[in-house]
Amino acid sequence: MNKVVATAAEALESAGLRDGMTIMAGGFGLCGIPENCIAAIRALGVRDLTIISNNCGVDDFGLGILLATRQIRKMVSSYVGENAEFERQFLAGELEVDLVPQGTLAERIRAGGAGIPAFYTPTGVGTVVAEGKEIRDFDGRMYVMERGLRADLSIVKADVGDHSGNCIYRKTARNFNPMMATAGETCIVEVERLVPTGQLDADQIHTPGIFVDYILEGSNYEKRIEQRTNRPAGSA
């Protein structure tokens, strides 16, 4: 099946993008984020979105551009420390936030994609993370129950993909993108290089095309570095 579309806007419109959707957005920091899809969501102007993502970009890049236009109603995230507008909206009561430990967030998404409704983890026991949740004793250790996460739509970034939707990620971009591809009712993947079906080594595929509904070859990737740290030349 040929799942190729020409643009991110075409993919989003075909996926039924609408106000109030829950969207999973892949990537880790600013690495492996679906830049074309995020820009198209901004341009299409949908609002009241719930976004599930490890972080929320920075003030003028990544998901941060959707904060700037007030299109996000709620964030389900792990790390949000690089975005001043996020902080401002949260403290002003303009943005709802569900802050989740990073490993727990990854497992909640993986569980949702695997059809697992809930699981137990020791992370968060005895903290505000566990408030209102079931706590159980397993072999003398306390665990909190966490629910699996699913979304109406997943937007994912891969390095290379084929016309059937099979995808390969590159290095840190494998954080969150592969599991999010499985946990959306609809999945859009943007890739840096699109090849005909059959050209990818089947042994190297990270996301099988069965999880992907639409795939497009992206363009104009900025690939910003979130925090650049340098040391003097010649130092050990």
Using the predicted structure, report yes or no on whether residue 226 has a pLDDT greater than 80.
no
155 confidence band (pLDDT: 50, 70, 90):
very high
230 confidence band (pLDDT: 50, 70, 90):
confident
With CA atoms as reference, report the closest residue to 166 among 112, 202, 193, 192: 202
235 confidence band (pLDDT: 50, 70, 90):
low
Using the predicted structure, report yes or no on whether residue 49 has a pLDDT greater than 80.
yes
Task: DSSP for 25-76, please give it.
Answer: E--BTTBT--HHHHHHHHHHT--SEEEE-S---BTTBTTHHHHHTT-EEEEE
Percentage of the chain lying above the pLDDT 70 cut? 99
- Going along the chain from its start, the domains and CATH numbers come out as 8-217 (3.40.1080.10)
Q: What is the pLDDT of the chain when averaged over all its residues?
A: 95
142 confidence band (pLDDT: 50, 70, 90):
very high
Q: Which residues pair with 150 in a beta bridge?
A: none
Beta strands in the chain (DSSP E): 22-25, 49-52, 72-77, 96-99, 118-121, 135-138, 141-147, 151-162, 167-168, 184-195, 214-217
pLDDT of residue 197: 95
Mean pLDDT of 191-219: 97
pLDDT of residue 1: 72
Which segment of 11-15, 38-42, 57-61, 120-124 scores lowest on mean pLDDT? Answer: 57-61
Percentage of the chain lying above the pLDDT 90 cut? 86
Mean pLDDT of 159-180: 96
8-23 residue pLDDT tens:
999 999 999 999 999 9
50 confidence band (pLDDT: 50, 70, 90):
very high
pLDDT of residue 41: 98
